[in-house]
């Protein structure tokens, strides 16, 4: 079925967040999933809905992350893309072709365009690095001379040209994962699926492997779909992200937009875990008390884009006749774009503080109230 015809007949992927311009048209999607459902029979006859109507488009050349807690359905979803897992219903279009319509030799052939990298590397311990990398080629019947060329090529791509004769037990975790990636690349795929590829690695090695995946995407023009339970991985390398919960995609969009303007409470929790605690409680304890008739409110302000915060804060103090103390602040980067996170203590009449937060929102700043421990203690005493 031609992709464009199929795309016009299918519903678009739901929950697409801001910046629709960044979302691919289904016709350009390297991977287009529509309404995927996969139920597993559970104990006592209660079915687990591992996938409960998932639709997604992954554009050619992008790194797309799927994030979710354990049991959200991520593994089931990624395994549906190469039909290691067959959905009960839905559509799995990869590189313009419906895979569910294929079987036998045709399906095996199309799967060679989809490489897969695993959390625990899945290397054969009795084989050398070169023989592990060449394994999928051997299975596909690629002649020896061609195999050797491709093995050399794949090992060079991951920086392990000198380890061809080593055995997996002689390698570090990061090197084993590089072998896993070389094995996925040996058949020269167009798509790379990464199933928690860095979850078994320490933070430094994780950074190295993520940088490698990004470089390979650029160098080979790959499309990468990765699943992870860590928003930090998404923040590091993904262009777009989908957040999954209980078999459904609950939010999707450009990584920068999802981080700076999360809409779903689960996404907010994921992001809070990544950005970390922001207002040190000791600092709050040392803040002055509000004057009579005034209120003290703690606010977290996230800003992205052109507004200079310093100018915004002094302007707000003048406009709304209130004091704004900066408690802490930092600049971070998501997908190469800077954003700032600041904690403020606002002192003034409640109506003026409300007007200030409304004005900040109008300027495109994301304002989140933070519980004031002093106010809580007072309320408890009353
Ligand atoms: N083969 C299976 N048989 C029965 N239930 C399954 C099977 N595979 C997955 N499930 C169930 O489907 C749900 C989704 O599982 P899945 O592994 O896709 O989630 P996940 O987000 O990848 O979680 P994890 O990171 O823990 O693997 C879970 O409740 C899981 O127990």
Predicted pLDDT at 271:
82
pLDDT at 334: 83
pLDDT, position 301: 86
Q: Considering only CA atoms, which residue is closest to atom 8 of ligand 1? A: 76
Question: Apex CA 265: angle with CA 360 and CA 349, to 5°?
Answer: 35
Q: How far is the CA of 77 from the centre of ligand 1 (A)?
A: 10
> Does any ligand 1 atom lie closer than 6 A to the CB of residue 128?
no
Is this prediction's ipTM beyond 0.95? yes
Ligand 1 centroid to 70 CA: how many Å? 8
pLDDT at 378: 58
Q: Which of 38, 52, 72 to mutate to test the pocket of ligand 1 (most atoms within 8 A of CB)?
A: 72
Where do you find CATH 3.30.70.260 in the chain?
281-381
- Number of C-alpha atoms within 13 angstroms, CB side, residue 242? 28
243 Cβ below 6 A of ligand 1? no
> In the chain, which stretches have pLDDT less than 50?
1-27
Residue 196 CA: nearest ligand 1 atom is 25
Residue 97 is predicted with a pLDDT of: 96
Asked whether 67 and 117 are in contact (CB, 8 A), the reply is: no
Domain with CATH 3.40.50.300 in the chain: 3-113+189-273
What is the structure's pLDDT at 331?
Answer: 81
- What pLDDT, on the 0 to 100 scale, is given for residue 2? 33
pLDDT at 371 (0 to 100): 78
Distance from Cα 50 to the centre of ligand 1, integer Å: 6
* Nearest-atom index, ligand 1, CA of 69: 21
Say how many Å lie between the CA of residue 245 and the centre of ligand 1. 12
The predicted structure's pLDDT at residue 310: 64
Confidence (pLDDT) at 307: 57
Residues 3-113+189-273: name the CATH superfamily: P-loop containing nucleotide triphosphate hydrolases (3.40.50.300)
Which residue from 36, 38, 39, 48 has its CB within 8 A of the most atoms of ligand 1, so it is best to mutate? 48
Q: What is the pLDDT of residue 15?
A: 43
CB–CB of 347/296 below 8 Å? yes
Cβ(184)–Cβ(117) below 8 Å: yes
Q: Among 40, 43, 199, 228, which is best to mutate for testing ligand 1, by the most ligand atoms less than 8 A from CB? A: 40
Q: Which atom of ligand 1 is nearest to the CA of 75?
A: 22
Q: Per DSSP, what are the bridge partners of residue 252?
A: 16, 242
Buried b (16+ CB within 10 A) or exposed e, 351-375: ebbebbbebbeeeebbbeebebeee
Query: Is the CATH number of domain 281-381 2.60.40.10?
Result: no
Contact 83, 104 (CB under 8 A): no
- The pLDDT value given to residue 29: 92
């Amino acid at each position: 079925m031609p992709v464009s015809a199929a795309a016009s007949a299918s519903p678009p992927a739901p929950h697409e967040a801001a910046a629709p311009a960044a979302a691919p048209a289904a016709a350009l999607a390297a991977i287009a999933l529509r309404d995927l459902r996969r139920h597993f029979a559970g104990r006592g006859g209660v079915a687990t809905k591992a996938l409960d109507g998932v639709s997604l488009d992954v554009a050619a050349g992008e790194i797309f992350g799927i994030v979710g807690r354990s049991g959200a359905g991520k593994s089931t979803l990624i395994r549906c893309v190469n039909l290691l897992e067959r959905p009960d219903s839905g559509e799995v279009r990869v590189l313009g072709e419906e895979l569910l319509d294929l079987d036998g030799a045709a399906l095996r052939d199309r799967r060679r365009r989809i490489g897969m990298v695993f959390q625990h590397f899945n290397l054969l311990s009795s084989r050398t690095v070169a023989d592990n990398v060449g394994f999928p080629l051997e299975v596909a019947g690629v002649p020896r001379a061609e195999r050797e060329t491709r093995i050399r090529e794949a090992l060079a791509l991951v920086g392990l040209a000198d380890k061809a004769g080593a055995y997996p037990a002689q390698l570090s975790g990061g090197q084993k994962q590089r072998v896993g990636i070389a094995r996925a690349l040996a058949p020269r795929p167009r798509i790379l699926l990464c199933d928690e590829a860095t979850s078994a690695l320490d933070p430094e090695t994780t950074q190295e492997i993520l940088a490698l995946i990004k470089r390979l995407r650029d160098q080979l023009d790959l499309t990468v779909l990765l699943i992870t339970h860590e928003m930090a991985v998404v923040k590091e390398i993904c262009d777009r992200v989908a957040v999954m919960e209980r078999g459904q995609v609950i939010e999707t969009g450009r990584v920068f937009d999802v981080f700076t303007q999360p809409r779903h409470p689960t996404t907010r929790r994921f992001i809070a875990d990544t950005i970390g605690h922001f207002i040190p409680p000791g600092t709050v304890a040392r803040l002055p008390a509000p004057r009579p008739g005034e209120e003290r409110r703690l606010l977290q302000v996230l800003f992205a884009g052109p507004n200079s915060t310093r100018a915004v804060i002094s302007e707000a103090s003048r406009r709304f006749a209130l004091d704004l103390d900066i408690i802490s602040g930092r600049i971070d980067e998501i997908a190469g774009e800077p954003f700032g996170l600041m904690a403020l203590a606002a002192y003034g009449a409640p109506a003026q503080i409300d007007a200030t937060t409304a004005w900040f929102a109008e300027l495109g700043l994301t304002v989140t109230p933070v519980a004031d421990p002093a106010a809580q203690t007072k309320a408890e005493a009353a």
